[in-house]
Structure 1
Amino acid sequence: MAKPISSFAQALRQRRVLRHWNRVADMAPSQPLSALRSQRGQARQLRRQLDRLIHEAESRLALPLIGSNAIRRPLGADWAYRPVLWRGPLDVPGAASVESRTAIGDEVTVFHDCDVSELTVRQIRNTRESDLAPFGLRMDVFRFDGSFLSLVLELPEDVVQGLTRRHLLRMDAVVEMEKPLEIFARLNVRHGPNTEQIVRELPLHDDDVFVEFDLAYTKMNEKRVEKVWIDLIFEGPEMNEIVLRDLTFSRRPRAEL
């Protein structure tokens, strides 16, 4: 019962403070200059604290909600997913001189073949009005003496439930970069001892950046599907800053012909 009483007392104090300042404002035209000078100083002190509160509240309330899983699902989609890295804060938000096979959270792993790593990765907070994902991933690449740089994204087990060759798997991305580069997405579907692969280049110059993988063009054994993952491959990443603001996946059955 203590909490409701405290809330009531706080509301009562707030009403009294508002009545006080309403009364002071109403009397300001007739107040002596000495009293008005003192009241102006008090009002300015109060306004500084109120402005701090309003600034912080508007900033935080404008951000995408942590844990949000709002996804633009294609029509007919029977599954959709945003990896954890883009949904919530990581225990270790970043690393410098990243070695190959470094895990970023539980679902994302960095791979490269550099002799000397000059790569940093960091989870960042999205702040734009258009952002649906609460977080993004920034990669800063300086000197790059390797032949490849990739992110491997493990998709959850439920993506394989009911997965058939009639499905289209889609990846949507929001990507920013300092200078142009090519990014390829490679779908991997393990079924028994075999792995099917489909490669698509991301259309980074389009307004909507997405790729689709049509499983009808694979030899996937629907009864033996075990695991699905995506390789994001960055071509020519040297001296570039790459920000993946959002990354979502969905699947839908393709229309019958």
Structure 2
Amino acid sequence: MGQRRTGLFEKLLSRGTRAFWSRAANAAGTTDLSVLRSQRTEARILRQKLDELTYTADSRLAWPRIGLSNFPKPAGTDWSWRPQLWRGALPFKGISGVESKTMLGDEVTIFHDCQISELTLRQLRNTRQEDLAPFGLRMDVFQFDGSFLSLVLALPQLSCEGLTRRHLLRMEAIVETETPLEIFARINVRHGPNTEQIVRELPLDDGKVMVEFDLAYTKLNEKRVESMWIDLIFEGPQMNQVTIRDVTFSRNPRAEL
């Protein structure tokens, strides 16, 4: 009962507030200037709060829902993962003049060797019908005086548990570029003092990308696997905009030959 009374009171109060501001707006042309000045200040404060509410509500109510980690996986998958950057909101919306080794959350780091950074990064909310990830990452590169630009994704420790040379690691992504661009994905598996690497070029024909890394072609010491990470390497990124709407990983044992 208490909750219903509170709800009714809030509705009546909200209705009264809307009526007050409606009358104030209609009378603004003839309102005394001292009163109008006070109303303008209150209206600006109210608009700021309403904008904050609308932004948060749009973000939470839009599809796909925040925190969503589901995506299609191959049969036999024994581990899968979507990085946090594509699942949940970062504490900041964007960064300009991005310095090397800047972290985006706990799992993604940007690396470059520019003397002057003309690189901006912004997390965006995915709202397209075909999107499964709640968020995407947009990177704008203007002049680029460096020799390399890469985005490093640190895979969680679970990806290393039980890892063998029989495993295939699949990476799927949705990537949009303003102009044609070469992007390479390099998996790094650290085992003891050594690191195994496999490089694949991302086929960007239709925006949806899938590459597989076959660990059978490495000298992986299965008993000493310590960590894994992925480098996304952008070749000649200047004067381009790259939007990564989703990135997912899955691991499954390769069929016996």
1:120 counterpart residue number: 120
Counterparts of 2:66 and 2:119 in 1: how far apart (Å)?
27
AA aligned opposite 1:217? Y
Q: How many residues align?
A: 221
1:105 counterpart residue number: 105
Counterparts of 1:196 and 1:74 in 2: how far apart (Å)?
24
Counterparts of 1:84 and 1:62 in 2: how far apart (Å)?
18
Find the residue that maps to 1:127 and give its secondary structure. coil
AA aligned opposite 1:107? E
* Residue 209 (str. 1) matches residue 227 (str. 2): no
AA aligned opposite 2:203? P
Counterparts of 2:160 and 2:242 in 1: how far apart (Å)?
30
2:246 counterpart residue number: 246
Quote the offset at 1:61 in angstroms. 3.9
Counterparts of 2:166 and 2:73 in 1: how far apart (Å)?
18
Find runs of 4+ consecutive structure 1 residues off by over 3 angstroms.
4-7, 56-62
2:229 counterpart residue number: 229
Name the % identity: 68
Equivalent pair of 2:174/2:207 in contact (CA under 8 Å): no
**Cα pair distance change 1:59/1:150, threshold 3 Å:** closer
**Cα pair distance change 1:103/1:57, threshold 3 Å:** closer
AA aligned opposite 2:246? D
CA RMSD across the alignment: 2.8
Counterparts of 1:67 and 1:102 in 2: how far apart (Å)?
23
Unaligned runs of 5+ in 2: 13-55
Quote the offset at 1:101 in angstroms. 0.8
Find the residue that maps to 2:216 and give its secondary structure. helix
Equivalent pair of 1:62/1:129 in contact (CA under 8 Å): no
1:181 counterpart residue number: 181
AA aligned opposite 2:121? V
Unaligned runs of 5+ in 1: 14-55
1:167 counterpart residue number: 167
**Cα pair distance change 1:127/1:253, threshold 3 Å:** same
Quote the offset at 1:73 in angstroms. 1.1
Quote the offset at 1:4 in angstroms. 5.4
Quote the offset at 1:5 in angstroms. 5.7
TM normalised by structure 1 equals 0.79
* Residue 152 (str. 1) matches residue 147 (str. 2): no
Find the residue that maps to 1:85 and give its secondary structure. helix
Counterparts of 1:216 and 1:189 in 2: how far apart (Å)?
13
TM normalised by structure 2 equals 0.79
Counterparts of 2:60 and 2:128 in 1: how far apart (Å)?
12
Find the residue that maps to 2:165 and give its secondary structure. coil
**Cα pair distance change 1:210/1:236, threshold 3 Å:** same
Alignment of 1:8-157 (within 5 A): 61-157=61-157
